[in-house]
Amino acid sequence: MNRPRSQQIVYWSLVILTLLTLSAPTFVVLGASFTSGNIIQFPPDGFSLKWYAAIIGEQNLRDAFGRSLIVATICVLVSLPTGTLAGIALSKFRIRGANAIQIYLLLPFTIPLIGSGIGLMLAFGDAGILGNLWPIGIATAVINLPFMIWAVSSSAVGLDPDLELAAQSCGAGPVQTFFSVTLPAVAPGVITGSLLMFILSLNEFLVSLLLVDARIVTLPVQIYNSIRSIITPDLAAVSVVFIVVAMLAIAALDKLVGLEIFLKSK
């Protein structure tokens, strides 16, 4: 690219400004987590790992983290088959009531989570299953399912319908065709969607708050409980743990399907 120098300066300033704005919260919380003082602050007061030691030592946090992992796993187990099938069906067939489905897919942006949360709380309460962890996993799957469906259908639109016909002319029945041709073709979407669901479920606060009781608090709720008393640097350390989990997920994504595919998927 041969742009005039002045244009290049403007261009690069914009890029750097954007990167700084996007990453600033991460750097601030990262810095704050390494403070050696007792107040959460940035720039940090000295350097130490004592707040990391503190969160590892804290039984409540560890348990809450474990429960959040269970919830996120259940969420993926529920949304992976349903979201995959729905995503493929949505892009492959002209379905009656497609409009209603489109509206459902916009729900995460139109209905406030507090609304869905209260609805789920009432439903689960009636069913008498509140107080268990698995309904929370199902709840986070239900409210975030559109993200899974989007991820899958965006890779399914690129699927050549002849591919499935080719499998049939090779002698594959419907089930064999699905597992040997359709599923591998949408795999990038399935993997992307699953990791997204995992992170969304891990971070889900509001709906969890409505569905947990004191015995089964998840990590975001646990953090909220601590904020209500006093904000200490261990929260920054916990946030960093969240960030690390998310980065691990992205690294896994890159390894499994390549980030280019993820970034290119429309």
Q: Give the footprint of another protein on this chain (CB under 8 A).
A: 160, 162-163, 165-173, 176, 180-181, 184-185, 187
Count of CB atoms within 10 A of residue 107's CB?
14
Separation of alpha carbons 197 and 224, rounded Å: 21
Q: What tokens appear for 213 in the block? A: 């009781």
Instruction: Supply the minimum distance, in Å, between the C-beta of residue 112 and another protein.
Output: 41
Name the amino acid, one letter, at 218. Answer: T
The number of helix segments (H) and strand segments (E) in the chain equals 13, 0
CB of 143 to another protein, least distance (A): 32
Question: Least distance in Å: CB of 142 to another protein?
Answer: 31
Q: Considering the complex, state which of residue 114 and residue 165 has its C-beta at the smaller distance from another protein.
A: 165
Nearest to another protein of 30, 261 (CB atom):
261
Closer to another protein at the Cβ: 177 or 201? 177
**DSSP code per residue over 159-185:** S-HHHHHHHHHTT--HHHHIIIIIHHH
Residue with Cβ nearer another protein (21 or 169): 169
Of the candidates 247, 243, 147, which has an alpha carbon nearest to the alpha carbon of residue 193? Answer: 147
Q: Which is nearer to another protein, 69 or 261 (CB)?
A: 261
- Count CA within 13 A, CB hemisphere, residue 43: 2
CB of 179: closest distance to another protein in angstroms?
12
Tell the smallest beta-carbon distance from residue 213 to another protein (Å).
46
Residue 72, Ramachandran bin (φ over 0: left; ψ between -120 and 50: alpha; else beta): alpha
User: How do the residues of the chain divide into helix, strand and coil, expressed in percent and rounded to 5?
Assistant: 80, 0, 20
Residue 223 beta carbon to another protein: minimum distance, rounded to whole angstroms: 41
Least distance to another protein from the beta carbon of 137, Å?
Answer: 31
Q: Which lies closer to another protein via its Cβ, residue 98 or residue 165?
A: 165
CB closer to another protein, 95 vs 103: 95
Q: Rounded to an integer, what distance in angstroms lies between the CA atom of residue 27 and that of residue 244? A: 13
Q: Which residues of 152-175 are buried (b: 16+ CB within 10 A; e: fewer)?
A: bbbbbeebeeeebeebeeeebeee
